[in-house]
Amino acid sequence: MALVADSVALRSRRKRAHAKGDHSLCEPGRCPEAGRAAAARILAAAPEAGPAAPSLTAAVASLVVGLPAGDPARDVLSASLQRCAEEIDAAGATAPLLRELRVTLAALCPPVRGPQPDWLDELHAKRAARRAAHGWPAG
């Protein structure tokens, strides 16, 4: 696929969709939501990738190409991610490769930092109650 500059029409369509919470047009490097979606697709595909069905190198390349350039730390992570994808495509996924893939993707496309899901609140509440029952600080 050739990289061509997006048309004004596409950019404004993307901007409107993004504002409405639809990130299907967004670029992984510019929209955290799209980055997380791309990272999740790569992670989901990784265990199946290997010499018989090499798919990670291309998926990682399309994520990396969209990332903003000029950050040396991100460049190192991107290079490491690409090497990792190439190894998996060449020889299949191993636990250490999958771990490196996961850690690198999380660093490049950080998970949401926002309100925690309800079940976490419940866990914290139960923990606080248990500690209080023992007379410990709520911590």
CA 128 – CA 138 distance, rounded (Å):
5
Closest to 6 in 3D by CA, of 35, 29, 24, 26: 26
Tell whether residue 26 is a contact of Zn ion (CB under 5 A): yes
Minimal distance in Å, beta carbon 95 to Zn ion?
33
Q: Which stretch binds Zn ion (CB under 5 A): 33-41, 50-58, 82-90, 123-131?
A: 33-41
**Residue listed under structure tokens 């595909």:** 45
Q: Which is nearer to Zn ion, 18 or 74 (CB)?
A: 18
Closest to 109 in 3D by CA, of 67, 71, 70: 67
When binding is defined by CB under 5 A, the residue of 10, 19, 33, 104 that contacts Zn ion is 33
The dihedrals phi and psi of 63, each to the nearest 5 degrees, come to -75, -50
Tell whether residue 36 is a contact of Zn ion (CB under 5 A): no
Q: Which residues contribute to the site for Zn ion (CB under 5 A)?
A: 18, 23, 26, 31, 33
